[in-house]
């Protein structure tokens, strides 16, 4: 049989490609509209929807960066520090907690797992007042560390890591490392973490995006203008009075806030693809 002969395309493949094209269009269309709106004047935006971009893109960008009441560069720096710190400590310590529950047998193992799952269903708003009082008592209010350190305890990330370990981390590998004389921290850092890279990449993206878009807690904790994150600055810009309100600046701020999220996803997406490929290989 000639290997150069192409296999005919089936109806199922055609439908699958059409659905993927539609989904890709739906995802990218709204991003395109955001770019279009960020390049238009406030007056033109008030007139209605437009498919073609305007000529105010760089002028709107300069308006945003030159606005003394909205320190955008400080906001980007603060959001990067908070989001990057949350993603790093959340994924690492959640993976470490999941490893402790997974690899050790002790009496309180099931109660500890149940307790962590109970915390998962508790909304942030319920504990916000007590959290704010605690920060005030220990003099950590108006401090970026107050937004980063609580990310160490994340039940949702813990459960994801624990589930991934159940599927991908054989205990025989851990026991072999112990027999070879590896201590627990070395085993975790040099054996478990490399295996957990796809799970860590996925949760790092989710945690980064969640911390980047978080408005509720930073609005409660941060009061100094130069320590505020981008969501607070966007809310401040949207809350301006009618005479100074500029919808073009608002769309430009939103566009600026989205770019780092896209870059983080592009940097970590290869680990997700590697994880899917690794999961498809069977011995």
Q: Give the domain ranges of the chain.
A: 11-57, 63-279
pLDDT for the residue numbered 63: 86
d(C-alpha 128, C-alpha 89), whole Å? 21
Q: Record the pTM.
A: 0.82
* Alpha carbon separation from 209 to 116, 242, 257 (Å, rounded): 23, 31, 10
pLDDT for the residue numbered 198: 85
Condensed to tens digits (0 to 9), the pLDDT of residues 138-153 reads 888 889 999 999 888 8
Alpha-carbon 210 to chain mean position: 5
d(C-alpha 266, C-alpha 206), whole Å? 13
Both tokens assigned to 62:
């300069």
Residues in the chain with pLDDT values less than 50:
1, 279-283
pLDDT for the residue numbered 142: 87
pLDDT for the residue numbered 138: 87
d(C-alpha 188, C-alpha 49), whole Å? 54
Q: Which residue has the tokens 């505020």?
A: 228
pLDDT for the residue numbered 247: 84
Percent of the chain residues topping a pLDDT of 90: 17
Q: Which of 118, 119, 200 is nearest to 165 (CA)?
A: 200
Both tokens assigned to 265:
């996803």
Q: Which of 199, 194, 163, 157 is nearest to 177 (CA)?
A: 194
CATH fold group of domain 63-279 = MetI-like fold (1.10.3720)
């Amino acid at each position: 049989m000639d290997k150069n002969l192409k296999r005919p395309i089936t109806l199922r493949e055609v439908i699958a490609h059409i659905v993927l094209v539609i989904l890709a269009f739906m995802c990218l269309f709204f991003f395109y509209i955001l770019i279009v709106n960020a390049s238009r004047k406030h007056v033109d935006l008030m007139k209605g929807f437009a498919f073609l971009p305007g000529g105010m893109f760089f002028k709107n960008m300069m308006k945003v960066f030159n606005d003394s009441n909205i320190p955008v560069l400080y906001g980007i720096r603060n959001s990067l520090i908070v989001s990057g710190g949350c993603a790093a400590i959340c994924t690492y310590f959640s993976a470490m907690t999941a490893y402790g529950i997974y690899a050790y047998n002790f009496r309180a193992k099931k109660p500890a797992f149940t307790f962590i799952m109970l915390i998962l269903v508790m909304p942030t708003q319920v504990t916000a007042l007590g959290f704010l009082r605690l920060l005030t008592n220990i003099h950590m209010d108006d401090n970026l560390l107050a937004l980063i350190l609580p990310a160490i305890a994340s039940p949702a990330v813990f459960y994801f890591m624990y589930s991934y370990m159940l599927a991908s981390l054989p205990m025989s590998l851990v026991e072999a490392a112990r027999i070879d004389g590896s201590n627990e921290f070395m085993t975790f850092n040099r054996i478990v973490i490399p295996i957990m890279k796809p799970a860590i990449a996925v949760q790092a993206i989710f945690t980064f995006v969640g911390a980047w878009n978080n408005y509720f807690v930073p609005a409660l904790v941060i009061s100094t203008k130069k320590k505020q994150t981008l969501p607070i600055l966007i809310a401040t810009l949207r809350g301006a009075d009618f005479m100074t309100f500029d919808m073009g600046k608002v769309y430009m701020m939103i566009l600026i806030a989205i770019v780092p999220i896209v870059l983080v996803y592009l940097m970590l997406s290869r680990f997700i693809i590697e994880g899917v490929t690794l999961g498809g290989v069977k011995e």
